[in-house]
Amino acid sequence: MKFKTRLRIAFASIVFLPLILTALAFLAISVYLVQDDQPHFFGQVNYAEMVDSVQSVGEQVQMLYQKLADTAVSEPQKFEDTAYLQSLNKSLNRKNSYILVRKNDSIYYAGNMEAAELIFDKLPEYGYEYGDAAAMYFNDLQKYVKQVDFRFTDGSEGSVFIVTRISGIISKRLLIDMFIAICLILLFTSLMLTQWIHKGVFTPINELNVAMQKVKEGNFDYRLSTEASGEIGDLYRNYEDMRLRLKETTEEQLQQEKQNKELISNISHDLKTPITAIKGYMEGIMDGVADTPEKMDKYIKTVYNKANDMDRLINELTIYSGIDNNRIPYHFHRINVAEYFGDCVEEVGLELDSRNIKLNYSNLVDPATLIIADPEQLKRVINNIISNSVKYIDKEQGIIDIRILDEVDSIRVEIEDNGKGIAAKDLPKIFERFYRTDASRNSTKGGSGIGLSIVKKIIEDHGGYIWATSKEDEGTCMHFVLRKYKEQKGNEKV
């Protein structure tokens, strides 16, 4: 069901249901006011009596008054008959009136003793002259009183009073006026409530619709200007959360696209350099420039090294794709630290010798120490760090130190070089993707700018952490920590 349909149904309910309930309640209150103290059944109520006007009730009381006046003249002894007085009083109950008989200065009979005691002291004396007025009205008690004087058989002064409660009389005009007033009040209330619902629901929803349209158009800076509470407030807050997340996601995508373009640019530039070198040396071989075995060996080694550089760049690109998709393939094994790092040092040592770089290695952990790691990915970490060090060694005699230290529950690997170092402002950023301390694309150092970010990702996926320390013109040291493998009781492994 549409919200507008619900609103129409609510509007109809607000108008008609209160009218019905008001009519029933008003009828019940009217019956109570008319019949007051007398027990009755609803079906016994005479509706014509309930809506009698003041004039109609006054006419009926006047008829009884005339009857009492005649009786006072012809048969005053009847006023001493309690049964007769009760019958008169019974006929007056439905007119909101009662009989009060006074003998001298005391109440001889009262159809409503409690009410009679309240008004008795205010009643006029025997033989009171009303003048032009036919009766007396007590404004504070809202009582309408008519008096008939007579004498008891013993000669005592007596007065019969017809006391009518004006507040209990309901006129037809009053009913009509009240009904019209209630209708106007309910209609006004309904219009106000509808306006309130429109302002509190439809206006915010329309504003939210405009905001969603802006999001659809790609405008993530449009903010809802209206503060709201309740369900509408929840919608506003949810929209703001969605808008901020979409904006953040879009900015991340734009940043990623920018980084991808930068990566392609870096890779293209860095691939072009070894390809150009390979082409140049191969042309030299084909043209016969390498006319001696020594030159030929030098040309072939150069081509081989450049091909390795290309392979490294392509591998970095593959790993970068795996980082973005969180799909770096891992094959974890128990690895003996001493044996594994000994083999790595032996392998990289040959290449470093060819570059006139001295490699120092020290292992301070127990020979039986084990770790859980992926041998291939851990080797990529070591090779990336060493390759990065080699690029920035600016001394005639390059030195790289590899140290394996015992940290009780873990091992710490330190790879230190004597290169040109990293500035303090650049040090916190070196593990960010595409960050290069030398931003020049024509830099002879090359590099895609993702090598150290790959290193950090791999170390963290192994449950470790990595950081760097450096001093300019002195060198840089990379530190990373890996947990030891321990076998505990109950075959629990850590």
435 shares its domain with 459: yes
Residues 108 and 142 in one domain: yes
Q: Do 90 and 27 reside in the same domain of the chain?
A: no
Distance CA 487, CA 369 (A): 11
Q: What is the pTM of this model?
A: 0.47
Alpha helices for 138-220 (secondary structure H): 172-197, 203-216
- For 433-451, the pLDDT digits (tens) are 766 665 443 344 555 567 7
Same domain, 370 and 465: yes
Identify the three-state secondary structure at position 151: strand
The verdict on 16 and 57 lying in the same domain is no
Show the domain range for 143. Answer: 52-169
Residue 428 lies in a domain: yes
Q: Tell me the DSSP string of 223-251.
A: -------HHHHHHHHHHHHHHHHHHHHHH
CA distance 434 to 441: 12
Q: What is the largest distance, in Å, between two alpha-carbon atoms of the chain? A: 170
Is residue 342 located within the same domain as residue 457?
yes
The candidate with the shortest Cα–Cα distance to 268, out of 229, 325, 313, is: 313
Of 154, 104, 108, which is closest to residue 126 (Cα–Cα)? 104
Q: What is the mean pLDDT of the chain?
A: 79
Residues 403 and 453 in one domain: yes
Is 290 a domain residue?
no
Confidence of residue 134 (pLDDT cuts 50, 70, 90): low
Residue 160 — φ and ψ, nearest 5°?
-105, 125
The pLDDT value recorded for residue 95 is 60
Number of domains in the chain: 3
Residues 188, 1 contacting (CB under 8 angstroms): no
Contact 75/102 with Cβ under 8 angstroms?
no
Please say if the pLDDT value at position 164 is more than 80: yes
Q: Are 18 and 186 in contact (CB under 8 A)?
A: yes
Q: Could you tell me if 454 and 347 lie in one domain?
A: yes
- What is the average pLDDT across 218-223? 81
CA atoms of 31 and 47, how far apart (whole Å):
9
Q: Read off the CATH number of the domain in which 338 is found.
A: 3.30.565.10
Alpha-carbon dihedral angle through residues 417, 421, 424, 425, given to the nearest 10 degrees: -120
- 111: helix, coil or strand? coil
Q: What is the DSSP letter of 266?
A: H
- Which one-letter amino acid corresponds to residue 289? V
Residues 160 and 185 in one domain: no
Residues 102, 146: one domain?
Answer: yes
Shared-domain flag, residues 196 and 345: no
> What is the C-alpha radius of gyration for the chain, rounded to an integer number of angstroms?
54
**Greater model confidence, 183 or 463:** 463
Neighbouring-strand partners of residue 360: 401
Residue recorded with tokens 């030299």 = 284
Of 161, 185, 204, the position where a domain reaches its end is 204
Tell me the C-alpha distance between 1 and 4, whole Å: 8
pLDDT at 45: 37
Q: Are residues 365 and 420 in the same domain?
A: yes
